[in-house]
Structure formats: structure tokens, C-alpha cells
A = this chain, B = another copy of it.
Amino acid sequence: MPKKRILTASQAINEATIMAMKKDNSVYVIGEGVNDPKEIFGTTKNLKKIFTSKRVIETPISENAMTGLCIGSAMMGLKPIQIHQRVDFAILALEQIINNCAKAFFVSNSKHTVPMVIRMIIGRGWGQGPMHSQILDSLFAQIPGLKVIMPTFPKDFKGMILSAIKDRNPVVILEHRWLHNIKGDVPKKYYLNNINKIKKINNGHDLTIVANGYNLLEVIELKKILKDEKISFDLFDLNILQPLETNAIINSVKKTGRILVIDSGFKNLGIGSEIISRISETCMEKLKSKPLRIGLPFVPTPSSRFLAKSYYLNKKRILISILQVLNKKKIKNNLSKKIKSNIPIDVPDLSFKGPF
């Protein structure tokens, strides 16, 4: 058995980028700050040194034209990896993304492809407020022609980014900032992860849970606690938002009869709404309890940690929702204690010293 190789997610992203660039000369990296000393949270480390500024391109603050430039070059056969330090900056490029990027394949009668990757980082850190920590997952998932992925584990970051780069379609990668420092086993070799079909990552009996991003980690942390209570669940890592393949979820629900979907973004018109609707439309009769979605309330992200507390989901709120789906009215006191955390709401761990 090969030895484990522990990397952080940002190291995995960095490694994947280097591999792809070595393998294929047409891959280039472009974005505001890609050559900064901060190296986009470490993910662009050493790129310029290895590949020179010809292939690792710092740009003016002009997101829309930058995106169009990437699209044009991709239609001509290059493979841009565009990076937005905040997903929010991609809002300025929506015209190019919605029109040229997503529609070129369709409107060219399948002649043009736009093999382009857009990494967008979701800024959760010290209270960055309503214009620097949006999620926008279902906004992008609503644009036909884009693939939209949202990896959680370092291993997946590597494999999915490599797949995204290889894919002939535009792929949006939503990276939750707090996942960059998560550690995990990452194989050394070049490998591709599926970016067309989500996977079940845990097997159980009592309910089906669908989650992604940072929430997914919290669900996993609940696993042990729930096991002590003899509760087990099917868990889907919703790391592919588009194409949204829900057959496996539906099959799972047919078995468990209970479903909780946890949205990283707004609950309103979130991916969860689509999943619950599909379940209701296909196998409503198998449900033993009402389906449940949780997600962000329908207001902009507040900056203050005092407000962030009731804005973001946390283990406790997830646990309550699980029990609700299971028709167990109250959390047992000891459960509630077990999940108590001494980590403030606005940091992923105690080593985090802000601001981003």
C-alpha cells in the first residue's frame, strides 16, 4: 500500500496546476494577483518561477474583458485557468460568462468549445461583508453550458481541477476559502476525478444527507456523535452542481425515506430546491418524513461576527435539522454538549489570524 501523502487543499491545487501546465503547453494561468507574494492563498506558488510570466499572467483590474480574452483564446485552442480571489469579482464578468463562455458551444452548432477553467474563491474569513463573501453557487448553476464544481477534500481538489482543465467545456470551480488549509491524503500521480456525477461518500440507513463545501466537513464531524446514537446516513458530496445528476440521491432516498439537503448558498432557489423538487416529482411516495433544506437566510452576508453567528450554518443547526428529518423533536442534552465548539464563528480554526 502506498504511503499517505498529506497536503493541504491549496497545496493540492498548486500541484494540480503545475502538473497540468507541464503536461500541456496550452494551459496558462491568469488573474489579478496570481503573482502576488500572497500567491492566491498559496495556490499559485512557484508558478511564475517555473513557467515564466508568459504563462502566469498578472492582469489589470478588468474582469469582464479578462474573461472575454480567456474565452477567445480558449476558442482558439488555449486552456486558460482564470482566477478570481473572490467569487464576487466574477459578477463583473457575468456578461462574458453567460453569453460567450456558456453559449459558444451551443450557438456555434457544437463547433466551438471553450475549454476554460474559472476558479472562484468564496471569501469567508473575518467579516468581509456583503460584497466580498457571497456564495453564488446557484447563480452559476443556473447558466446552461457551464459546469460548476465545488470540491471539499484535498484529493478531490487535485483530481477535479485536473479534470476541469482537461474538460472541453467551461468549468467554474467554487473554492471555499476555509477549505484551503484542510489537510488530506493526496496521491502524487496525475489522476482525474469525475466532474459529471456526484458520489456517495458514506453509507447508512436512517436518512440521506446532501452537502458540500465547508458544511460537508461539519456533517462528517457529526457522524461519530450520531453513530453513538445509532443513527447512520447516506451522505452525498454535492461537489458537482452542474451537470446536476440526482439519480443516486433519488435511489438513496428510496431506501432511507428521509432527506436533508444543506445548501452552501441561499436556501431560497438554492440547489436544494432543485434536488427536493426532483425527489418530490419522482419518489414522493417513498418519503417517510417531509424533506428538508437548510442554507443561508435570504439576506446579504453581514460583516459583524455577531451577525455572522446566526447567518451561517453550524454543527448544531445541522444536527437539529437531522433530528427534525428523523422526527426526533429534541436534541438530547448530551448531544448538544458534544458538539459545543470553542472556535469563534469567523475563523475556521484557532490558527487563523485574519483578515482573509
Contact = CB atoms under 8 A, between A and B. Distances in A.
Interface stretch (A44-52, A202-210, A271-279): A271-279
B94 A91 contact: yes
B277 A293 contact: yes
A103 B271 CA distance: 22
Nearest to A259: B280
Contact of A280 (B129, B144, B291): B291
Contacts of A98: 91
Nearest to A287: B284
Interface stretch (A77-85, A134-142, A337-345, A348-356): A134-142
A198 to B, nearest CB: 16
A282 interface: yes
Interface in A271-319: 271-274, 276-277, 279-282, 284-285, 287, 290-293, 298-300
A95 B89 CA distance: 9
A244 to B, nearest CB: 7
A76 interface: no
B138 A269 contact: yes
A80 B271 CA distance: 34
B91 A106 contact: no
Given A91-B94, A91-B99, A131-B99, A141 B269 contact: yes
A266 interface: yes
| Interface SS, A side | helix
Contact of A277 (B130, B139, B273, B299): B273
Residue of A95, A276, A293 most packed against chain B (CB within 10 A): A95
A196 interface: no
A259 to B, nearest CB: 10
A271 B274 contact: no
A158 to B, nearest CB: 29
A241 to B, nearest CB: 10
A268 interface: yes
A92 interface: yes
Contact of A268 (B131, B244, B279, B290): B244
B269 A273 contact: yes
A248 interface: no
A145 interface: yes
A128 to B, nearest CB: 12
A141 B266 CA distance: 12
A287 B277 CA distance: 13
A107 interface: yes
A298 B103 CA distance: 12
A266 B95 contact: no
Lowest 7 A-B CB distances belong to which pairs?
A273-B273, A276-B277, A280-B280, A273-B277, A144-B298, A273-B274, A142-B269
Interface of A: 91-92, 94-95, 98-99, 102-103, 106-107, 129-131, 138-139, 141-142, 144-145, 244, 266, 268-269, 271-274, 276-277, 279-282, 284-285, 287, 290-293, 298-300
24 contacts: A91-B94, A91-B95, A91-B98, A91-B99, A92-B95, A94-B95, A99-B131, A102-B300, A103-B130, A103-B300, A139-B142, A144-B266, A144-B300, A268-B274, A273-B274, A276-B281, A277-B277, A280-B280, A280-B284, A280-B290, A281-B290, A281-B291, A284-B290, A285-B290
